[in-house]
Amino acid sequence: MAEELGFTLFFVLATMFVAWLVLVDRLFATLRTRHVEVFAALGSPSLIVNNSAQNNLAFMRFLLRREDRVLNDPALSKLCRFMVCLFWIYAVFFGIAVISTFVAAPP
């Protein structure tokens, strides 16, 4: 039973991770084309080429502080809202995975 839960949790987390990457790429493209100044302020991030810790922190700060609201872009705000929800749901599932790993570990 615990093994099945582990495989299911892994599949859910992996699927959410791939979805996150797709959404981040879509958000970067939107910022790059419609909000050039904000994109530059975030360090002109990308998934692979310009992916630094500083850019990641700036991006997560932008997302979690809901700085998209001042841009008055309903489509962007909808995407950011969804991404914030996905982030917290992923964090909860990841926490469950970590805790269940320690609980299920043999003594």
Per-residue pLDDT tens digits for 35-58: 999 999 999 998 888 888 899 999
For 42, the 3-state DSSP assignment is: coil
Per-residue pLDDT tens digits for 68-102: 999 999 999 999 999 999 999 999 999 988 888 78
Judge whether 79 and 12 are in contact, CB under 8 Å: no
pLDDT of residue 8: 87
pLDDT of residue 97: 85
Backbone angles phi, psi at 64, to 5 degrees: -75, -25
pLDDT of residue 106: 66
Exposed e or buried b per residue across 31-64, where buried means at least 16 C-beta atoms within 10 angstroms of its C-beta: bbeebeebbeebbebeeeeeeeeeeeebbeebbe
Residue 65 has pLDDT above 70, yes or no: yes
Task: At 32, list the tokens.
Answer: 């790059």
